[in-house]
Structure 1
Amino acid sequence: MPHIDYFFATMSPFTYLAGTRLEEIAAKHGATITYKPMDIGQVFMRTGGTLPKDRHPTRLEYRDQELRRQAKKAGLPLNLRPAHFPVNGAPAAYALIAAQNAGGGDLGKLVHAYTGAVWAEDANLADDAVIRACLEKAGFDPALADSGLLSGAAAYEENTEEAVRRGVFGAPFYITETDERFWGQDRLDDLDAHLSGNL
């Protein structure tokens, strides 16, 4: 059975623009997914990347254009200057890890709810009430926001270490069980083709 390790950041605009297409592709091919939220800042710094705040203005201008174009292609609303970005996305990641361990909801919807809260709704993802609302929207117990914080923090750190070790350098990032790597929501069609045996 195909498997995908999904490395992402809870505040990544490109993770938001992926929507739930990964889950649709996985369902089409009978693939399983392990969700691995990571500290994207650490990944950038340890793999030769640069945080957006430290990038040259020409790179930031291109990023804005690309985000606008990709949002239009995906049919998703996008605020290029969200009211609460950046904030600490780790508590949301801990809650997602707790949700993955608990089961019973839709993790793809939860990732999209988190990122949509930031990039479409101007919500503060560091706010416990926002995390709880996202959990509930995705079919999980909102109390998971307060569950397993220590184990969630440990898993988040382990995911970040694993990401660096396995060649992840951005988000979203998809790795198959055969170590085929796909970076960015704009490579989901390639992941689909690979799982179909056509790439």
Structure 2
Amino acid sequence: MAHIDYYFATFSPNVYLAGTRMEAVAAKHGASVTYKPLDLMGLFAATGGVPPGQRHESRQEYRLQEMRRQAAKVDLPINLQPMFFPTNPAPSSYALIAAQKAGGGNLGALTFALARACWAEERNIAEDDVIRAALEGAGFDGDLVNSGLLSGAEVYARNLEEAITAGAFGAPFYIVDGSERFWGQDRIDDLDTYLSSLT
């Protein structure tokens, strides 16, 4: 059975645009998934990337156009300039790490809910009440928002190190069985094709 390491940031617009399509592909092929939220700005800094706000104006403009087009393609509403972006992704990431450890809910739904809160609902995913609502909506205990903060911080930092070592440099980033890499929500069909080739 294939395994997918999923490296991402909870406030990434492309994680939002991915929706739960990767999870559907994984389920189709019986692949397991480990969710690895990380510090995306740290990943950019370590791998030669540039944060959106520091890119040349033409790149910034193109990014917004592409986000609008991709949102239309996957039929998701999007606010191209959300009120709470950028925000601190660490609290939502720690909660997601705690949820993965606790089990009992839907991690794909949780990841999508957090990203949707930022990009479609004008909510700040650094706030406990927003994270709690996402947890509960995905079938997890809302109190996980305050659970395992120290261990969450340790895993969050380790995820960044692992991502760099594994060859990830953006989000979402899917790595199958430690070697086959797919970058971007627009590569989920390619992930599906690759997993099909393994069976």
- State the TM bucket, normalised to the shorter chain: over 0.9
Deviation at residue 19 of structure 1 after TM alignment: 0.3
Residue-pair matches, total: 198
Hey, what does 1:87 align to over in structure 2?
A: 87
Return the TM-score normalized by structure 1.
0.98
Inter-partner Cα distance in structure 1 for 2:126 and 2:156: 16
Hey, what does 2:157 align to over in structure 1?
A: 157
Hey, what does 1:185 align to over in structure 2?
A: 185
Q: Per-residue CA shift, 1:157-188, capped at 9, x if unaligned?
A: 00001011111110000000051000000000
Residue 63 in structure 1 maps to residue 63 in structure 2: yes
Inter-partner Cα distance in structure 1 for 2:113 and 2:178: 29
What secondary structure does 1:76 align onto? coil
Hey, what does 2:134 align to over in structure 1?
A: 134
Inter-partner Cα distance in structure 2 for 1:100 and 1:183: 22
Hey, what does 1:116 align to over in structure 2?
A: 116
Inter-partner Cα distance in structure 1 for 2:126 and 2:192: 33
Aligned AA for 2:40?
I
Hey, what does 2:101 align to over in structure 1?
A: 101
What secondary structure does 1:65 align onto? helix
Aligned AA for 1:189?
D
Q: Per-residue CA shift, 1:31-70, capped at 9, x if unaligned?
A: 0000000100000011000011111100000000100000
Hey, what does 2:48 align to over in structure 1?
A: 48
Deviation above 6 Å: which 4+ runs of structure 1?
none
Which residues of 2 match residues 10-49 of structure 1 at below 5 A?
10-49=10-49
What secondary structure does 1:175 align onto? strand
2:172–2:183 Cα contact (<8 Å) kept: yes
Aligned AA for 1:192?
D
Consecutive unaligned residues of structure 1, counting only runs of 5 or more, are: none
Inter-partner Cα distance in structure 2 for 1:185 and 1:84: 22
Return the TM-score normalized by structure 2.
0.98
> Kindly, what percent of the aligned residue pairs are identical?
62
